[in-house]
Amino acid sequence: MTHNLDSLKQELLDYIAGEEFGIFKAQTGGNQGFPKVYWDTERYPEYQAYLNVAKTAGVSLIIFGHREFEAAEIDDALEQMNDCELGRDEQRSIENTLADLRPYVGSICIIEMAFGFQGHMYVYELMTEWFQTFMDVSDLLVAASANGDDDGEDESDSSFGGYYSKN
């Protein structure tokens, strides 16, 4: 499902405030360390239903975060690609995909709402399809980089680190 998260962001903030929740503005993925339960946004995309659950649970504070896509992410992916041993066609395909994503720089790619209840974080997360494409390319590059790494270092230590975490 494609989401225009740029326009949805303000709609969500207005709705949350209208329902008299407090809004704690946070970075996406900022609720690490807590067990998480994710709302099924594929089958139940209505944020109103999610917020009704929060209200029913007696929650008065919603954690809200969003993330904008940055040009540096594309540049980092291109740099990572140059460090991989990829075939010419695969490299060209990745370059084209990344070029297709450049118009989205500055656009919101992830919106996340969460609330705490009985030791768990209940999370509502939306991600654009184009950013999922970027995440898929990033994962491919990390895997290709790890496959070419013969020095015995920890394969999880890539230049992407946890920066592209879907948390």
pLDDT at 149 over 50: yes
How confident is the model at residue 148, as a pLDDT?
60
The count of structural domains within the chain is: 1
166 is a domain residue = no
Query: What string of DSSP letters covers the chain?
Result: ----HHHHHHHHHHHHHHTT-EEEE--TTTTTTS-EEE--TTT---HHHHHHHHHHTT--EEEEEEEE--HHHHHHHHHHHHTS---HHHHHHHHHHHHHHGGGTTSEEEEEEEEEETTEEEEEEEE-HHHHHHHHHHHHHHHHHHHT--S---TT--TTTTTT---
How confident is the model at residue 156, as a pLDDT?
43
Which tokens is 56 given? 């029913």
How confident is the model at residue 157, as a pLDDT?
42
Residues 6+ apart with CB under 8 A from 34: 116, 119, 120, 121
Whole domain around residue 38: which residue ranges? 5-146
151 is a domain residue = no
154 is a domain residue = no
152 is a domain residue = no
Q: pLDDT for 8-51, tens place per residue?
A: 999 999 999 999 999 999 987 766 678 999 999 999 999 999 99
pLDDT at 119 over 60: yes
28 is a domain residue = yes
Q: pLDDT for 64-108, tens place per residue?
A: 999 999 999 999 999 999 888 888 999 999 999 999 999 999 999
In the predicted model, what is the mean pLDDT of residues 127-142?
95
Please report which confidence band the pLDDT of residue 162 belongs to, taking 50, 70 and 90 as the band edges. Answer: very low
pLDDT at 166 over 50: no
Query: What CA–CA distance (Å, rounded) separates 132 from 127?
Result: 7
Q: What percentage of the chain carries pLDDT values higher than 90?
A: 73
Cα of first residue to Cα of last residue in the chain, in angstroms, is 19
How confident is the model at residue 60, as a pLDDT?
97
159 is a domain residue = no
pLDDT at 155 over 60: no
167 is a domain residue = no
How confident is the model at residue 146, as a pLDDT?
74
24 is a domain residue = yes
